[in-house]
Amino acid sequence: MSDRSLRGMRLGAQSMETESGVEPAPRQRIEYRCEDGERVFVTFAAEAEIPPVWVSKTGKEALLVDGERPDTSGDKPVRTHWDMLLERRSMEELEQILEDRLNILRERRGERRSA
């Protein structure tokens, strides 16, 4: 048997190819900065579109250094469940529904209270 025997090799665990002659794609390192001064560096491909805002590992919003702040004035405010409920019901209706449901729960527990 030859010296290049596969005996003892972890087949599939290691590649037999070499990385000689392989050129990585061109990259650019972009800096973002949080309001508290934290610096965030992100590596993008050279032809990638760079986002104006990046969320850091700590969860803070970081802005592109020497970039413009994105215009968020046209964004709609987020509607909560409470906002949507108030679009369908009045406060008087909600109070009545709450009282009805509480009475049903009290009856199940044997805590009927007189009004």
The tens digit of pLDDT for each residue in 38-78 reads 999 999 999 999 999 999 998 899 999 887 777 767 777 88
pLDDT at position 21, please?
83
How many whole angstroms separate alpha carbon 96 and alpha carbon 46? Answer: 62
Which CATH number belongs to the domain containing residue 30 in this structure? 2.20.28.270
Residue 19 placed within a domain: no
Alpha helices in the chain (DSSP H): 81-88, 91-109
Residue 102 placed within a domain: yes
How many domains, in total, are found in the chain?
2
Question: In 10 A of CB 40, how many CB atoms?
Answer: 19
Find all residues with CB under 8 Å of 99, minimum gap 6, and list them: none
Say if residue 58 is in the same domain as residue 81. Answer: no
Residue 8 placed within a domain: no
How many whole angstroms separate alpha carbon 102 and alpha carbon 113? Answer: 10
Mean pLDDT computed over every residue of the chain: 85
How sure is the predictor about 98, in pLDDT bands with cuts at 50, 70 and 90? very high
The tens digit of pLDDT for each residue in 10-37 reads 666 777 777 888 888 899 999 999 999 9
Residue 97 placed within a domain: yes
Residue 98 placed within a domain: yes
Global pTM?
0.47
Say if residue 57 is in the same domain as residue 84. Answer: no
Domain containing residue 57: 25-62
